[in-house]
Amino acid sequence: MIIIGEKLNGSIPSMAKAIAEKNEDYIRDLAKRQSEAGAAFLDLCASVPENEELEVLKWLIDLVQGACDTPICVDSPSAAVCAEAVKFCRKPGLINSVSGEGDKIEKIFPVIAGTKWECIALLSDDKGIPRTTERRLEVFENIMQKAEEYKIPASRLHIDPLIEMLCASEDGIEKVTNTIKEVKKRYPDIHVTGGASNISFNLPARKYINRAFIILAMNAGMDSAIIDPLNKDMMGLLYATTALLGQDEFCIEYINAFREGLFGN
Ligand code: THG
């Protein structure tokens, strides 16, 4: 499982406060701890007005690169900001995100073409989030056509099928799992990612929904997730599910992660 550490996000109140107060120790500490917990990328989202965003992102990138070696996941709603922020990174990371919307792909794919940068692609376009699996796959194929034009291999893309609220869904997560299965069938080397928390919006005891969702999504082929790696219950579940899916021979990774204290009894 490719873990994208979610905690350095300005939409989390404690992180917004740390950004406003320029609390460098807080940010370095969260970077280090997520890195030690096994994050493959650290998501950095400033969540400030666009005129300050690039400056805040540069400050965050410099801080995180001083604290650990884990590659950065540049998270901004603006493709222009993502394209600029890439220049501040010492090594290739992940861009969060493009979609079929507007000229996002035309702004981002030329920047990462011929590099080792990876990119998250959301299955939405100018018409919003498609209602049906078929329409989502249409958006997906349009994105893959562009990827081919820019010679970006599927292995550098993380498809985010866009997880909507369970309480408003008529079919649970069936549309999402069908989309994940089909995406993986068409491109076995591609990654499928997503945030675990949208699913439980407006429901009580959200952690149960989030955890059950991750297991079902992994069973469908999700192999990358934007989660809190400091949450040991979630980490235990991820390692356990990976082993149960036959992706961890002799449970070696599960045993090692337990020994390293990534989760407890
Ligand atoms: N897809 C893509 N990008 C995304 C999302 C997505 N970026 C933002 C978001 N969704 C994922 N990031 C977060 C960050 C923090 C939280 C939820 C989603 C959050 N964190 C709690 C906290 O830090 O207080 C802790 C949660 C826990 O303990 O598990 O709420 O869907 N492409």
CATH number at residue 128: 3.20.20.20
Residue 138 and residue 195 in one domain: yes
99 Cα–ligand 1 center, Å: 19
Determine the pLDDT at residue 119: 98
- Read off the pLDDT band of 22 (50, 70, 90): very high
Determine the pLDDT at residue 229: 97
Binding site membership of 229 for ligand 1 (Cβ less than 6 Å): no
Q: Does 74 fall in a domain?
A: no
Atom 5 of ligand 1, residue of closest alpha carbon: 195
Determine the pLDDT at residue 196: 87
150 Cα–ligand 1 center, Å: 30
Is the pLDDT confidence value at 227 over 90? yes
Q: Does 85 fall in a domain?
A: no
Binding site membership of 228 for ligand 1 (Cβ less than 6 Å): yes
Residues 15-25 have a mean pLDDT of 98
227 Cα–ligand 1 center, Å: 6
Residues in the chain: 265
195 Cα–ligand 1 center, Å: 6
Residues 176-205 have a mean pLDDT of 96
Q: Does 82 fall in a domain?
A: no
Residue 170 and residue 245 in one domain: no
Determine the pLDDT at residue 85: 98
Q: Which atom of ligand 1 lies at the shortest distance from residue 198's CA?
A: 31
Binding site membership of 224 for ligand 1 (Cβ less than 6 Å): no
Confidence (pTM): 0.97
Q: Does 119 fall in a domain?
A: yes
Binding site membership of 34 for ligand 1 (Cβ less than 6 Å): no
Residue 45 and residue 145 in one domain: no
Give per-residue pLDDT as tens, 46-85. Answer: 999 999 999 999 999 999 999 999 999 999 999 999 999 9
Q: Does 130 fall in a domain?
A: yes
Residue 223 and residue 251 in one domain: no
Give per-residue pLDDT as tens, 139-152. Answer: 999 999 999 999 99
Determine the pLDDT at residue 245: 98
Q: Does 40 fall in a domain?
A: yes
Give per-residue pLDDT as tens, 93-108. Answer: 999 999 999 999 999 9
Residue 120 and residue 205 in one domain: yes
Is the pLDDT confidence value at 168 over 90? yes
pLDDT mean across residues, the chain? 97
Binding site membership of 214 for ligand 1 (Cβ less than 6 Å): no
Give how many domains the chain has, as a whole number.
Answer: 3
Residue 143 and residue 244 in one domain: no
Binding site membership of 74 for ligand 1 (Cβ less than 6 Å): no
Residue 115 and residue 154 in one domain: yes
Residue 219 and residue 242 in one domain: no
Residue 147 and residue 166 in one domain: yes
Residue 200 and residue 258 in one domain: no
Is the pLDDT confidence value at 35 over 90? yes
Residue 160 and residue 250 in one domain: no
Domain carrying residue 182: 92-227
Residue 210 and residue 99 in one domain: yes
Binding site membership of 195 for ligand 1 (Cβ less than 6 Å): yes
